[in-house]
Structure 1
Amino acid sequence: MMLKAPRLIDFDNKRAYFRSRIRQQHEQHLSGPLRISVRRAYVLEDSYNQLRMRPTQDLRGRLNVQFQGEEGIDAGGLTREWYQLLSRVVFDKGALLFTTVGNNVTFQPNPNSVYQTEHLSYFKFVGRVVAKALFDGQLLDVYFTRSFYKHILDVKVTYHDIEAVDPDYYKNLKWMLENDVSDIPDLTFSMDADEEKHILYEKTQVTDYELKPGGRNIRVTEETKHEYVDLVADHILTNAIRPQINSFLAGFNELVPKELISIFNDKELELLISGLPEIDLDDLKASTEYTGYTSASSVIQWFWEVVKGFNKEDMARLLQFVTGTSKVPLEGFKALQGISGPQKFQIHKAYGAPERLPSAHTCFNQLDLPEYTSSEQLQERLLLAIHEASEGFGFG
């Protein structure tokens, strides 16, 4: 049942099932402790050198960390600290391995990592570390882009995933799908260097790229525009970082099999890796701006009343739905980031049919909320949106 219809099962049950399967795997392959000794100042290099060549079997052993020059005996606390320290260094921009996109909070492989020697070996190591954290039930303070979670789950990315990376480019693609493109003569199955560069590549020398063989000479027509948009999404979110993705997955799937992780969706995978966030509702409310409504509008009053009744999981889903991630800024919601800097939580009035679902623009931390006629209707529509609204829901 779990593997056939994972959408019908709540996150807690999926997580319990995942843990029990991991434990089973552990008991079948009992291993001695996995001991590593690292220097704090070189935690990435030391950990990489000691773990990258270890056989998969060893990685199933209980991790025992020692920081060189310190007395501490690892009863679990040092392991937790090691995961924290290591993830901070791995995802630091100086390491060149990952880069933040969109709201500067979520990470994906850096296409420029090729400038780092052994970069693919490092990605395999990072895949092992993330899987080991899941295997050990440890949480990481790391938040990936939606599209990268999809790669881990082997789920196809779509052009909707580009919105979180570059909302203007996403709007252009969306416009193409909604309008007649017959009169655009120079639109071909290729991307020019400038187009690519401003989306992901910043400092890289990029040449024009053909989206299919001979693409530079093939015009995009009304009949083929959906294929064009799909190929653009594939290129930007997948092909440009394909070697890094493959290496990460080679390390990750050694410990966590593909069929086991696939019971989760991309939002649940984030909660599994990073944990359920502590959300201070009063802080969120104090840091919210309204357009078309005021804090005294009945819809807004109902909204906060409904959200107050949410459990931790639904609070996390709401945050993911509106901001694209369940990460709460260290300084509180006043420090929430959008695509172009600080951007508070936004609630905008959505015009049109009142039975429409709420929709969101994660790059602006914006929730578009229709003017519902009752608190019950708002609750039902909002819950449906945060649980079911994936690609294309409410994008009308």
Structure 2
Amino acid sequence: MSSSSSLSKHKLNDYAADSALPSPLEFHVIITRIFLDNTLVFHADSSATIKSIHDKIHSITGIPVTERRLFYGGKQLHSEQTLAECRVQNFAKLSLVGRMRITKLPKACQLIDEIVSCIFIMCKETHPLNVPTEVKFILEEFWSRMDLEQASEYLRIFGASSAPKALVMLYMSPDRMNRLYADEAIVHFLGLNKTILPKHSYHEYVLVIFEFCKLLKGPAGIDDPLYCFCRGRLAAMMKYIEVGKKAGIEIKDVFSFVEELATKLSDDLLSSVHPNRFYGPSLVDISDFSSFVAPLVKEIKGCDPIVFPLTDVPHVYRDEVRNLFEIFHDLLGKLERCLGELENCINSDLKRSHGVRDCHYLKLMKELNSISKIYSGCEGLFWEIMKSTKGAFCRLVVMCAKRGEDHSWIFECKEVTNFDARRHLAMMMLPRVKANYEVRHEMLIDRSHLLAESFEYMKHAEIESLRAGLFMEFKNEEAIGPGVIREWFLLVCQAIFNPQTALFVACSDDRRRFYPNPASKVDPVHLEYFGFAGKVIALALMHNVQVGIVFDRVFFLQLAGHTITLEDIRDADHLLYNSCKQILEMEPEAVDQDALGLTFVHEVEELGIRKTIDLCTDGKTIAVNSENRRQYVDSLIQLRFVMSVADQVEHFAKGFADIMHCRHLQKSFFKCLEPEDLDWMLHGSESAISVDDWKAHTKYEGFKKTDDQIIWFWKIVEEMTAEQKKILLFFWTSIKYLPVKGFSGLASRLHINKTSESCGRLPSSHTCFYQLSFPAYPTSDVMHDRLSIILQEHVGCSFGTL
């Protein structure tokens, strides 16, 4: 350790004077380590204790007592001894040395002692010019010596020394350069994050960060950038360590950060609603708040919900539990006000509510929902408030929920969501179609072998290329781009769900609805085709293409991992549903008199052969009666709709999950939706095409909407049949089924483009750009004739050129 040369002139007069003792002694304290010529000159009575000398050294140098020892005549002087007892003579020379630690890394200890000494020198009014450079050099040497195996010991040495205190003292000094050096050194230390350090050293690392937080909090304040940075690093490491008495950091210590962050979040919520924009609390503050709350939540979880007041509820963290309860209600109340304001904006001025895109209310809601589960009645209160501001909640979901985030908490109460919110959450689980065509999966398909060739392409495709999107064309056709992809999805889905393919069965009451065919095993590769079908449906959703088919409720619920009940099979097999319903509603006496004549068996036909399957062990010997009829119905439903197609559903789900990266996401995708939501996403609008809506979403290039040709065009369209309108729309856009929101749900507006070609030319389209082109036909009859030819000759293949 060392001090500045100016200290050598420092005199210690009138120190612990005692008239009964001889004149004060004069002795020199030589500070060893870096600057050997630095000496403190003291005057003290021989009755003065060594502790008093240490205290005076601390007041002069700032070097903590714990970091140094005094030696005289080769012996260490102990605090309780007096100068007389230590036989210190007049003009004696005492040595002040750094405390040596019992360690396998003495060089590391020496470097830390030198760092501390240099810092104390820098804190004096004057210091040698090379000291800051010396500190930086020594720090770099200290960290460069640390390898992964010794990381824990190095961190322990650093934390046990007064280096953190010295660095904070340097940061708080009035000298601007000192602050910069300290800031750089502390940030450098905090850069030793979990990606660099081995896991076994995380605990020591966190203890040091915690020490920095404690040292900075008082003098620097909770708004200081360096303190906030240290607190953020500590929050980021909380999930990797245990919290408790044995760990050195207790929940009570951590909870102090919860309280200060809660105050900041509360203040930010109060000021978050701006006349022209919504500003929420910062994402960093919410994330840190969540990290510091987690240990307390973990400690309480698994217990019964806590009932307030806490008078009769003993708890080791009683104060923290009570304070967190108050924090929850404060933040929830202020959040309710913000959502109410947003709700008003949505109802009156949508433009103003757009500013909510950059706020983080949704992240805070997730944390409050987690806290609400601890306390009796709080979870219900949370969801009631969300329901009362459903419009604002759904707007937040649509505008703020991002890919890669966990939104499963929202599925706990789907009543607070609408179709737009649920669809957005589902779409966030699918990959985003890449803009770069070069990374997409390329396919060249022969229309005459569309299903077989598409299957082979998918079978041998790299999954990552499929996740990037598709780039394809049909053989011997020039058209490429999104319009061709939309057409391919329509055609390949028609082939997959065609009853002649035998993969899926259409519901008897609704031929648009499909579920897996139990008899699909007639094709030896049928399971591979189900995997292919799963990929195609996931990709169609990813590309936002409505393919005109929907899943039966039974199939949807199985993909979501739900149990199938009697009410679920109503559409799939109405006859079986009615039979089972009748069995359950019969008078018990009639059933017990064997009026049904049923046993626990079921007859099925496979490949033209009828066979009997037991619904349970020795089912043929067990008669159905009033007590077991519910079991009989449930077993029948499981055999008919679950067990008979389990492999098919499994392979379809796997194909779907391949596009989504994992099976967990596949189940979450269907769980977050209602069956009707998937209907709208896959099939699209079931309403007749509105010509007014069509016109409202069409722009003109070369024409004006008042031109005769445009007036004639829309009059002709209005007179078309519903099927003719679909054909024209498909010719124009390669879209056969509009989104549930109609034309406003498309990616862009439609275009009518004026060409300079002769009036004998038929209209043409660029389906990728939703563009219909035709010349300025001279009369309405000519235009009607040209459009009629298109409608007659269009048989499903693309007329688009790009």
Counterpart position of 2:498: 92
The one-letter amino acid paired with 1:252 is F
Tell me the secondary structure at the aligned position of residue 425 of structure 2. helix
**Structure 2 counterpart of 1:275, from 681, 684, 697:** 684
Match of 1:183 among 593, 597, 614: 593
CA deviation after TM superposition for structure 1 residue 36, in Å: 0.8
Looking at structure 2, the residues matched to 135 and 125 of structure 1 have their Cα atoms a distance apart, in angstroms, of: 15
Please tell me whether the aligned partners of residues 440 and 468 of structure 2 are also in contact (alpha carbons under 8 angstroms): yes
| CA distance in 1: counterparts of 2:527 and 2:571, whole angstroms | 25
CA-to-partner distance for each residue in 1:116-155, whole Å, 9 max, x for gaps? 1311101100011001111222221112222111122222
Q: Which stretch shows the higher mean deviation, 130-139 or 13-22?
A: 13-22
Higher relative contact order, structure no. (Cα contacts within 8 Å, ≥ 6 residues apart)? 1
Matches within 5 A, 1:139-288: 139-179=546-586, 180=588, 181-184=591-594, 186-191=597-602, 193=603, 196-197=604-605, 204-256=608-660, 257=665, 258-279=667-688
Render the CA deviation track for 1:359-393: whole Å, top value 9, x for unaligned.
Answer: xxxxxxxxxxxxxxxxxxxxxxxxxxxxxxxxxxx
User: Offset at 1:86?
Assistant: 0.6
Contact 1:37 1:67 in 2 (8 A): yes
Q: Structure 1 residue 3: deviation in Å?
A: 2.6
When the two structures are superposed, what TM-score results if normalisation uses the length of structure 2? 0.32
The match for 2:529 is 122
Rounded to whole Å, the distance in 2 between the matches of 1:217 and 1:190 is: 9
- Are the equivalent residues in 2 in contact too, given 1:31–1:61 (CA < 8 A)? no
* Preserved contact between residue 566 and residue 637 of structure 2 (Cα < 8 Å): yes
Distance 1:37 1:147 in 2: 35
Conservation of the 8 A alpha-carbon contact between 2:600 and 2:620: yes
The match for 1:18 is 426
Quote how far apart the aligned CAs of 1:66 are. Answer: 1.0
Choose 142-151 or 159-168, whichever is displaced more. Answer: 159-168
CA contact (8 A) 1:120 1:244 kept: yes
Return the offset for 1:40: 0.7
Distance 1:22 1:143, change over 3 A: closer
* Aligned residue runs from structure 1 range 125-140, under 5 A: 125-140=532-547
- Deviation of 1:60 after TM superposition, in Å, equals 0.7
Q: Following the alignment from structure 1 to structure 2, what is the Cα–Cα distance between the partners of residues 31 and 5?
A: 42
| Residue 48 (structure 1) aligned with residue 48 (structure 2) | no
TM-aligned CA deviation for residue 264 of structure 1: 0.6
Alignment of 1:280-299 (within 5 A): none
1:144-175 deviation digits (Å, cap 9, x = unpaired): 22211112222221122333233333222112
Tell me which amino acid in the other structure corresponds to 1:83.
F
1:241 counterpart SS class: helix
Equivalent residues of 1:11, 1:268 under 8 A apart: yes
State the shift of 1:112 in Å: 2.1
Letter of the 1:176 counterpart = I
Whether the 8 Å contact between 2:600 and 2:616 is mirrored in structure 1 is yes
Q: Give the CA deviation at 1:331.
A: 9.8
* Range that drifts further, 256-265 or 241-250: 256-265
The alignment of Structure 1 onto Structure 2 pairs a total of residues equal to: 274
> 1:77 maps to what in 2?
483
Q: Give the distance between the partners of 2:592 and 2:438, measured in 1 at CA.
A: 63
Within 2, Cα distance between the matches of 1:331 and 1:109?
A: 32
Q: Distance in 2 between matches of 1:235 and 1:241?
A: 9
CA distance in 1, matches of 2:610, 2:572: 18
Q: Which is greater in Rg?
A: 2
Greater share of residues in helix: 2
Q: Deviations over 1:162-210 (max 9, x none)?
A: 332333332221122122121117322111x2xx45xxx6x63231011
Does the 8 A contact of 1:31 with 1:57 survive in 2?
no
Task: Tell me, in whole angstroms, the C-alpha distance in 1 between the residues paired with 2:455 and 2:530.
Answer: 10
* Aligned equivalents of 1:113, 1:205: Cα separation in 2: 15
Q: CA deviation at 1:330?
A: 5.9
Structure 1 gaps, min length 5: 282-328, 333-396
Contact 1:80/1:138 (8 A) holds in 2: yes
Q: Distance between the aligned counterparts of 1:172 and 1:32, measured in 2?
A: 54
1:195-229 per-position Cα deviation (integer Å, ceiling 9, x unaligned): x45xxx6x632310111122111222322211111
| d(CA) in 2 for partners of 1:88, 1:44 | 10
SS, match of residue 206 in structure 1: strand
Q: Quote the Cα distance in structure 1 between the aligned partners of 2:428 and 2:569.
A: 36
Label 1:280 to 1:71 Cα distance change in 2 as closer, same or farther (>3 A): closer
Residue 5 (structure 1) aligns with: 413
Distance 1:188 1:330, change over 3 A: farther
Q: Describe the SS at the equivalent of 1:5.
A: helix
CA distance, structure 2, for counterparts of residue 165 and residue 18 of structure 1: 25
Q: Is the 8 A contact 1:128 1:255 kept in 2?
A: yes
> Does the 8 Å contact 1:135/1:255 carry over to 2?
no
Distance 2:654 2:723 in 1: 33
Deviation, structure 1 residue 84: 0.7
Select the residue among 498, 501, 514 that pairs with 1:107: 514
The answer to whether the 8 A contact 2:473-2:480 is kept is: yes
1:31 to 1:223, Cα distance in 2 relative to 1, 3 A: farther
Shift of 1:31: 8.8
Go from structure 1 to structure 2 and tell me whether the alpha carbon gap of 1:17 and 1:162 turns closer, same or farther (over 3 Å shift): closer
Distance 1:108 1:149 in 2: 9
Q: Does 1:64 align with 2:468?
A: no
Q: CA 1:59/1:71 → structure 2, altered by over 3 Å: closer, same or farther?
A: same
Q: 1:48 and 1:105 mapped to 2: Cα distance? A: 23
Offset at residue 44 of structure 1 (A):
0.6
Q: CA deviation at 1:22?
A: 2.9
- Displacement of 1:99 after TM fit? 2.2
TM-score (norm 1): 0.64
How far apart are 1:240 and its partner, in Å? 1.7
1:121 is paired with a residue whose SS is helix
Structure 1 residue matching 2:654: 3-state secondary structure: helix
Q: SS in structure 1 opposite 2:472?
A: strand
Q: Let me know the Cα RMSD of the aligned residues.
A: 2.6
CA distance in 2, matches of 1:131, 1:189: 39
Task: Measure the CA separation in 1 of the matches of 2:444 and 2:562.
Answer: 37
- Provide the C-alpha distance between the structure 1 equivalents of 2:473 and 2:652, rounded to a whole number of angstroms: 26
Q: Check the 8 A contact 2:503/2:517 in 1, yes or no.
A: yes
Q: 1:57/1:83 Cα in 2 relative to 1: closer, same or farther (>3 Å)?
A: same
1:48 and 1:220 mapped to 2: Cα distance?
46
Deviations 1:317-372 (A, max 9, x none): xxxxxxxxxxxx9699xxxxxxxxxxxxxxxxxxxxxxxxxxxxxxxxxxxxxxxx
SS of the equivalent of 1:208 reads: strand
Tell me if structure 1 keeps the 8 A contact 2:614–2:620. Answer: yes
